[in-house]
Amino acid sequence: MSGDEPKTALLVVDNPITEGQLRMILRKRGWKAEVSKDGDKAVDQFVALRPDLVFLAVDIPTLDGHIAALEMRESDSKARIVFVSSRGGMDLAEDAAYSAGAVGVLMTPFTDSSVTEVWDDWMGRIPEAPGLSDLDALYPTLEEPEPEFTQLPPLPS
């Protein structure tokens, strides 16, 4: 990435209002935003894009945001993730943030100034992700069983 290209954030919040607010805040900072509507696609997009920052809700379709964050951190130990949550989901978001080594948790509704207050912290040190050691237990890789072939009788001569 050259110095002229804007930094990229991946938004996986499944809420059009929150998404719009984040886009506006990022645009003011000279960042571009990519959007994903579900956790499974977000992990694929993360691997393809290597965004500089990910805004992620816990309650997203197809793949829980906590598991998606762990998958992102497994793919890139320097993944910078901020969980986004309403007040009612803050306990779950904070637990997921700790487990996945997120750089922060953003409570909705938020303002540009509340994001500015924590922006430098988000751009600072990336914590360890203790939940990575449990990733296989949380989301095991399913192995396809070998297909069984029945022996066909020999062809007639």
SS3 9: strand
Residues 6+ apart with CB under 8 A from 77: 126, 129
Name the pairing type of β-strands 53-57 and 104-108: unpaired
pLDDT digits (tens, 9 = 90+) for 13-30: 989 999 999 999 999 999
User: What percent of the chain has pLDDT above 90?
Assistant: 73
pLDDT digits (tens, 9 = 90+) for 72-126: 999 999 999 999 999 999 999 999 999 999 999 999 999 999 999 999 999 999 9
Determine the average pLDDT of the residues in 34-41: 93
Say what the pLDDT of residue 1 is: 46
Overall pTM > 0.75: yes
Closest CA to 71 of 92, 54, 85, 59: 54
